[in-house]
A and B are shown apart, each in its own frame.
Chain A
Amino acid sequence: GAGVSQTPSNKVTEKGKYVELRCDPISGHTALYWYRQSLGQGPEFLIYFQGTGAADDSGLPNDRFFAVRPEGSVSTLKIQRTERGDSAVYLCASSFSGGKFEQFFGPGTRLTVL
């Protein structure tokens, strides 16, 4: 079946603008995760959804970052007043709920803030 998809694959924006990044998880996966990967680093956790609710948003760096998953499937990561330091690859993953279940990663959205 289809894997995790993310759109757009690349996004270039100007400092101060608002961006939305979309993630379509694997059908049937109740858990959805957002990570951010800067150059030369491993992925860093941002937020985790269980169904429609954010089970853990402790990784969001500040209040410019917000994510929603209104129907328990597609999720949108929203970044307000973007800064150059927000430039990174934003990764989405999904899994069945809990335990060892593998997190399947999407290809990521490369965000560049000029």
Chain B
Amino acid sequence: GEDVEQSLFLSVREGDSSVINCTYTDSSSTYLYWYKQEPGAGLQLLTYIFSNMDMKQDQRLTVLLNKKDKHLSLRIADTQTGDSAIYFCAEKPGSQGNLIFGKGTKLSVKP
């Protein structure tokens, strides 16, 4: 079946790096995404990676993909209090138009 798993909580100190991990199950997934959801706000796409890539870097964000293990991670460098939010990993199976989301990881950044 299709399932996306994430750890539920992560707490870091301001200035440290944060690493949020995700595992997915559908090997046909062509794109994998990271979305951010702040309290009372909609989902915002942070970044995505195509399944034939191993890594993608975008300013403070680094996405690593291990396709063999179906493992995706998001690293946020120099984490700021404004990064506090829930981060969702999502996969887009090749045969489908919709996204399959994990339950989200709540990132808390302490000053």
Chain A residues close to B by CB (< 8 Å)? 4, 31, 33, 35, 40-45, 48, 50, 55-56, 59, 91, 93, 98, 100, 102-108
Interface residues on B, range: 20 to 34
- Kindly specify which of B60-68, B77-85, B94-102 makes contact with the partner chain: B94-102
Q: Is the CB of A45 within 8 A of B100?
A: yes
Whether the Cβ atoms of B48 and A91 lie closer than 8 Å is no
Task: Please measure, in the bound complex, the distance between the C-alpha atom of A28 and the C-alpha atom of B37, giving whole angstroms.
Answer: 25
Contact residues of B with A, CB < 8 Å? 4, 30-31, 35, 41-45, 48, 50, 88, 90, 92, 96-104
Is the CB–CB distance between B101 and A42 below 8 Å? yes
Would A103 and B42 be within 8 Å (CB), given that A42-B88, A42-B104 are in contact? no
Which of B41, B43, B101 has the most chain A CB atoms inside 10 A of its CB?
B43
The chain A residue with its CB closest to the CB of B95 is: A56
B41 close to A107 (CB less than 8 A): yes
B48:A43 contact, CB within 8 angstroms: no
A61 to chain B, nearest CB (A): 15
Which 8 residue pairs are nearest across A and B when measured between Cβ atoms? A42-B101, A45-B98, A105-B43, A107-B42, A105-B42, A48-B97, A100-B31, A43-B101
Q: A31-B97, A42-B104 are in contact. List 8 more A-B contacts (CB 8 A).
A: A33-B98, A41-B104, A42-B101, A50-B97, A100-B30, A100-B48, A105-B43, A107-B42
Query: Contact between A108 and B97 (Cβ–Cβ < 8 Å)?
Result: no
CA–CA, A43 to B44, complex, Å? Answer: 13
Across the interface, B102 reaches (CB within 8 A) one of A42, A50, A55, A108, namely A42
* Residue contact B100 to A108, C-beta cutoff 8 Å: no
Q: Are B42 and A108 in contact (CB under 8 A)?
A: yes
Contacts of B44 in A (CB 8 A): 105
CB–CB B43/A91 < 8 A:
yes
Which residues of chain A are near B45, meaning CB under 8 Å?
102-104
Cβ distance A34 to chain B, nearest Cβ, rounded Å: 9
- If A42-B4, A91-B42 touch, whether A56 touches B48 (CB-CB below 8 Å) is no
